[in-house]
Amino acid sequence: MDGRFRGFDLTTTDNGVATITFNEPERLNGSTQATKRDLTELLQLFQMDDAVRVVVITGSGRAFCAGDDMTGRPREYGDDVQQLVPDLPRGHADPMSTYEALKTMSQAVNVAVRALDKPTIAAINGLAIQTGLTLALACDFKIASRDARLGSATLRFGLLPDEGGHALVVQHIGLAAALDFFLRKRIVSAEEALELGLINEVVEPDELMPRALELADELAAGPQIAMRMLKRSLYNAADSTIAQAFDDIAARTAVTDHHPDAREGVTAFRDKRPPKFS
């Protein structure tokens, strides 16, 4: 599956770490319909591929992803570029087609990231603006280079964070801080983003990918079924009542307690050795 796709490269390792790298630095990795469609499909493939355990998303050059490509210039992809799905009508010609395009393409990427049961890591190497910010926040872990800058700034164009970033920012930093962040059109440094609670960690630029891959390797070595169950339960708990959250974790524990990984974890603890999870 490794190779070049429309707007990004994919590499995988033997231990199940898949790294997606946006590969159009001259355009600040501006997102297009083609990139969103192929990325959404790839994430859905990852969900069904047992060989993939962790997904890392990063960018090349000065940007992680500086938002939607607003140049309007068409892409010309070479013969070595794979197209996973056909193009769709662009939409945005009227209110209804705008709604449909947002749900089907712009928002679908972030829904696919959140729907993936496997851990995801955003390695934010530079600018993460608008759709780039939302994609990063949809990931489970956010590690930023000290050079990174994050923001929405859609109001600078009289536009809304229509790809869903408003909801993710509220989840991360709360309503009061989100109002300040969006209405004042703030673009913050990595250190400010860490202080706000938008990201988990800040590292030096040359340490970004080694740190992201170190975390990915740690997660890839963990008990996969239990981790995926727990990830989903945590997200469900964020949107549920206490009673619903308790019931959800009980149902999932009924599965994980009887999985071979649970027996291996207990045995390894008793034998004072590292566990070997399936």
Whole-angstrom distance, CA of residue 184 vs CA of residue 186? 5
CA nearest to 67, candidates 151, 8, 9: 151
pLDDT tens per residue, range 208-231:
999 999 999 999 999 999 999 999
pLDDT value of residue 178: 97
Tokens of 71: 């140049």
Identify the band that residue 172 occupies on the pLDDT scale cut at 50, 70 and 90.
very high
Mean pLDDT for 170-190 is 97
Task: Check residue 231 and give its pLDDT.
Answer: 97
Residue 192 has pLDDT above 90, yes or no: yes
Query: Taking a C-beta distance cutoff of 8 angstroms, is the pair 166, 198 a contact?
Result: no
Q: Which of 152, 142, 84, 150 is nearest to 113 (CA)?
A: 142
Q: What burial class does residue 129 get, using C-beta atoms within 10 Å of its C-beta: 0-12 exposed, 13-18 middle, 19+ buried?
A: buried
Q: For residue 90, what pLDDT band results from cuts at 50, 70 and 90?
A: confident
CA-nearest of 209, 197, 199 to 123 is: 209
- The answer, yes or no, to whether residue 79 has pLDDT greater than 90, is no
What CA–CA distance (Å, rounded) separates 36 from 110?
Answer: 9
Q: What is the pLDDT of residue 153?
A: 83
The predicted pLDDT at position 167 comes to: 96
The stretches of the chain forming alpha helices (DSSP H) are 33-48, 95-101, 107-115, 131-138, 165-173, 175-183, 190-196, 208-220, 224-238, 242-256, 260-271
| 72 pLDDT higher than 80 | no
Higher pLDDT, residue 115 or 74: 115
pLDDT at position 16 is 98
- Domain 3-220 belongs to what topology? 2-enoyl-CoA Hydratase; Chain A, domain 1 (3.90.226)
Q: What is the rounded CA–CA span in Å between residue 196 and residue 188?
A: 9
At 136, the pLDDT band (50, 70, 90 cuts) reads very high
DSSP code for 83: -
* pLDDT band per the 50, 70, 90 thresholds, residue 78: confident
Q: What CA–CA distance (Å, rounded) separates 106 from 100?
A: 10
Q: How far is CA 274 from the centre of its chain?
A: 29
Look at 70 and 148; give whichever has higher pLDDT. 148
- pLDDT of amino acid 219: 98
C-alpha separations of 226 from 16, 138, 232, 246, 247 in Å: 16, 21, 10, 16, 16
pLDDT classification of 71: cutoffs 50, 70, 90: confident
Paired with 127 in beta bridges are: 63, 149
Tell me: the pLDDT tens digits for 151-166? 998 999 899 999 999 9
Kindly report, residue by residue over 7-50, the tens digit of the pLDDT.
Answer: 999 999 999 999 999 999 999 999 999 999 999 999 999 999 99
> What is the predicted pLDDT for the residue at 77?
85
Domain locations in the chain as residue ranges:
3-220, 224-271
DSSP-assigned beta bridge partners for residue 5: 8, 82
Q: Considering only CA atoms, which of 131, 195, 193 is closest in space to residue 162?
A: 131
Alpha carbon 237 to chain centroid distance?
19
